[in-house]
């Protein structure tokens, strides 16, 4: 049996703000989006007084003042730095790790650790909080989807003390408590369709026929159902996907001569692009150029030379 763990930082943006203002603990705190538009993070105290996610700031301004809610603008540089520290701390526990998002990471442990999972979970919580000051919840499961479900219980149920295990047990009783719309991999549209057919919980969804799931939700939905049954379909994505940049075709005339004259044995040669592709009546050639250490992929685009923005000019200057 494979053992996956999902480590999720509790109210991550709020926890980052509380690192520098410990007096905010046990007080309602919210973090706003870009330009202070809406709420994107809430402390547990803010959730309890009824502040919804994505609440517009201008509509809730008087509500914040009445309940003494501390309001912060987002600071993504800070959040990214703290996230990196949490990731480095988790890496000391096991090298088998996938950074899923800024506040979530999947870990994998050998099957021999199955009897010590609760101890391992407590150790993860203690070490991450001691080294970074960020509280986390840990959920264990034989698949990534079940680990995500276990983490949900670790967050919402106080008796779990932040650690919950769904390995080597009958999960039907726990899946009965999870709404189908909260299952990892089931979006709003599929969730609405399932509820209309009487599929309201994760357990009912798990027991649906495979042919029906594949017909109505494609192979992705079938993989989700198999994961809920304990069959791993998703492995850890340990290596990050390469970054890509999309450039307007008007840059072909600028980039191609640079690469053509650059002596690199690893650079493939391509035919000369058309000279009149910048016209609205002609489509640009589909080409891609690769050099080390950056990859730029140039796709066919509807952009015209007049719409080239400042960031592409900066790329030319750096080259």
Q: How confident is the model over 89-117, as a mean pLDDT?
A: 91
**Poorest-confidence range of 21-25, 196-200, 267-271?**
267-271
The correct answer on CATH 3.30.70.270 for the domain covering 3-10+78-172 is yes
| Distance of alpha carbon 200 from alpha carbon 219, whole angstroms | 20
What is the model's pTM?
A: 0.73
Q: Label residue 47 by pLDDT band (50, 70, 90).
A: very high
Percent of the chain with pLDDT over 90: 63
- Helix boundaries (H) for the chain: 12-20, 44-48, 57-66, 76-91, 117-132, 144-156, 172-175, 188-196, 202-206, 210-228, 252-260, 310-318
Question: What is the domain partition of the chain in residue ranges?
Answer: 3-10+78-172, 13-75, 178-228, 249-318
Structure tokens at 125: 């919580």
pLDDT digits over 158-204, tens only? 899 999 999 888 899 999 999 999 999 898 899 999 999 999 999 99
Find, among 170, 20, 125, the residue nearest to 82 by Cα. 20
Name the architecture of domain 13-75.
Answer: 3-Layer(aba) Sandwich (3.40)
Name the CATH code of domain 178-228 (choices 3.40.50.1000, 1.10.220.70, 1.10.3720.10, 1.10.150.20). 1.10.150.20
């Amino acid at each position: 049996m494979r053992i996956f763990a999902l480590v999720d930082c509790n109210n991550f943006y709020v926890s980052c703000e509380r690192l520098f203002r410990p007096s905010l603990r046990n007080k309602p705190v919210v973090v706003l989006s870009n330009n202070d538009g809406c709420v994107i993070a809430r402390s547990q105290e803010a959730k309890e007084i009824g502040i919804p996610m994505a609440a517009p700031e201008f509509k809730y301004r008087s509500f914040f003042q009445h309940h003494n809610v501390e309001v912060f603008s987002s600071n993504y540089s800070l959040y990214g730095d703290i996230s990196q520290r949490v990731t480095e701390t988790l890496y000391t526990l096991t090298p088998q790790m996938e950074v899923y998002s800024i506040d979530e990471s999947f870990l994998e442990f050998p099957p021999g650790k199955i009897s010590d999972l609760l101890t391992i979970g407590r150790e993860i919580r203690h070490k991450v909080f001691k080294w970074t000051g960020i509280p986390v919840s840990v959920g264990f499961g034989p698949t990534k989807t079940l680990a995500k479900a276990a983490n949900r219980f670790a967050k919402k149920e106080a008796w779990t003390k932040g650690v919950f295990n769904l390995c080597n047990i009958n999960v039907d009783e726990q899946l009965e408590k999870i709404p189908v719309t909260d299952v990892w991999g089931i979006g709003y549209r599929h969730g609405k369709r399932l509820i209309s057919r009487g599929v309201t919980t994760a357990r009912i969804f798990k027991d649906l026929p495979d042919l029906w799931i594949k017909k109505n939700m494609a192979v992705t939905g079938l993989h989700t159902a198999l994961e809920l049954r304990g069959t791993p379909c998703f492995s850890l994505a340990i290596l990050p996907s390469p970054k890509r940049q999309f450039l307007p075709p008007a840059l072909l005339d600028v980039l191609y001569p640079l690469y053509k004259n650059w002596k690199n044995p690893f650079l493939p040669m391509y035919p000369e692009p058309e000279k009149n592709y910048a016209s609205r009546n002609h489509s640009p050639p589909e080409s891609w150029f690769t050099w080390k250490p950056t990859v730029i992929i140039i796709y066919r685009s509807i952009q015209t030379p007049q719409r080239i923005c400042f960031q592409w000019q900066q790329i030319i200057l750096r080259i």
